Amino acid sequence: MKKFLLLFLLTTVLMLNAQINLNIGSTNVGTAPISSFFSYSYVQQLYPKQEINTSSAGNITGLTFYLDPTSTINDSSDWTVYLGHTSKTAFTSGTDWIPASQLTQVYAGTVVKNNNRVEISLTTPFAYNNTDNLVVAAKENSQSIDINNFDEVFYVYPYTPNSTLYYKGDRAVVDPVAPPGGIRADYKSAITISGLTASSTPACPLMNYPANNAQSISLLPNFKWLAVSGADSYKVSLGTSAGSTDVINHQVVTTTNFTPSAPLNANTTYYLKVTAVSGNIQSSGCADISFKTVPPVPVNDACSGALSATAFPYTYTQNDAVSATNNNGFITICPDAMNDGIWFKFIGDGGQFTVKITMPTGSTFDPQMDIYSGTCSSLACVNTADSAGGGGAETMTIPTVAGTEYFINIGSYEETVDVAEDTFTITITKL
């Protein structure tokens, strides 16, 4: 009898401890898991496997959402709740709903606020596979609304961009098979997921910056990651090979960002790992992300280093423009000022020359092109080209004077803000 009682008590304790708590201390409010301020709403939220951090696959037996203690939800209490698996990590648009066919209805009925919580028990548990990300979706079906101190009353926490998609309105109950266009949000519900057993180690932080395999990262980057629920500190490691710590060796930080104390090397691939620490327990199995720093400053960064075009047609692709500096400030020689960017030069022969700037497909770089005559210490404006938008080509044709040297500055069009240049190709032809 004693053995049976002991086994029963142990099983009960394990069941009570089988839950995942995600940022349940948050006090920010938002439109998730439902809207209390509009008659009807439908909300889908993405919880990545990495964030859930359960020790194994298991049955989700309940969900708990948290809300402002002064609030009421008497007129926002008719809920239908769905769960599902997905590989999606973000909603790409306001209509990028996860299809209803990929969701399982796990609850329908009236919810109540109890001790500043809404607790939903699932009659039929949802089998979470611990391979995919989890979708938590809910729609609210009551026509009336609740008037509270805040428009919305449920607690949310900041997360990656577009991790929530919601619709709220007063016209009709939402049909999850064909929901209307919604709004994306960079937050999610503070939530308890019952039935899953938390891993014995904290979750691996999800990096916000830089992205894995990112290129042209600055030499003093500000690494950023999302807070891990329950973590009290983080360890940052950086090396020049996978898994190495030759640059930064398990630096302890208590914030969710970190900047190296010394500049990194240019044109170098680095491997970054951030782990979370809770008490004396550290994340395990966290993966490196790799990134490459910006190239060295271009040789034609200044007018004095302008690349000379001597044979025509002349074509040059500037792959290191991102490292150009603004030198002594903005170029104000022509009426339309611009960044001091990348420099080229050629000598006129009395004929006409056409200069064209093009960007690779998908580029958003918006260049301005100024052409000058004279010397670097005494430039005179010839003409300016800045008619296209981001990614658009700029073209200019000028008459030349035989023996006169002409200088070309390709820089970002901004005249009061120093903005980095990007990859472009310059072509100079004689007509």
Backbone CA torsion sign across 138, 144, 145, 146: negative
Q: Same structural domain for residues 222 and 337?
A: no
- Residue 2: its pLDDT value, please? 41
Are residues 74 and 50 part of one domain? yes
Q: What is the DSSP letter of 303?
A: G
How far is residue 68's CA from residue 153's CA, in Å, rounded to a whole number? 5
Q: How far is CA 92 from CA 165, 182, 189, 363, in A?
A: 10, 11, 19, 20
Instruction: Round to whole Å and give the CA distance between 62 and 378.
Output: 75
CATH assignment of the domain containing 148: 2.60.120
Q: What pLDDT, in 10s, does the model give residues 30-89?
A: 999 999 999 999 999 999 999 999 999 999 999 999 999 999 999 999 999 999 999 999
Contacts of 387 (CB under 8 A, 6+ apart): 394
**CA gap 10, 214 in Å, rounded:** 48
Confidence at residue 17, expressed as pLDDT on a 0 to 100 scale: 63
Which residue, among 388, 386, 391, has the nearest Cα to 369 in the 3D structure? 386
Same domain, 35 and 143: yes
* DSSP-based three-state secondary structure for 4: helix
Q: In whole angstroms, what is the distance from residue 144 CA to residue 175 CA? A: 18
Using alpha carbons only, give the angle 308, 311, 312 rounded to the nearest 5 degrees: 110
Domain with 411 in it: 303-430
Decide if 13 is inside a domain. no
| Domain boundary pick from 137, 166, 194 | 194
348 and 358 Cβ atoms separated by less than 8 Å: no
What would the mean pLDDT of 287-293 be, rounded to a whole number? 97
CATH of the domain at 255: 2.60.40.10
- Is position 51 within any domain? yes
First to last CA, the chain: 102
- DSSP SS3 for 156: strand
Residue 201 inside a domain? The answer is no
pTM score of the predicted model: 0.78
Over residues 334-366, the pLDDT tens digits come to: 999 999 999 999 999 999 999 999 999 999 999
Predicted pLDDT of residue 66: 98
Among candidates 44, 365, 49, 89, which has minimal Cα distance to 208? 89
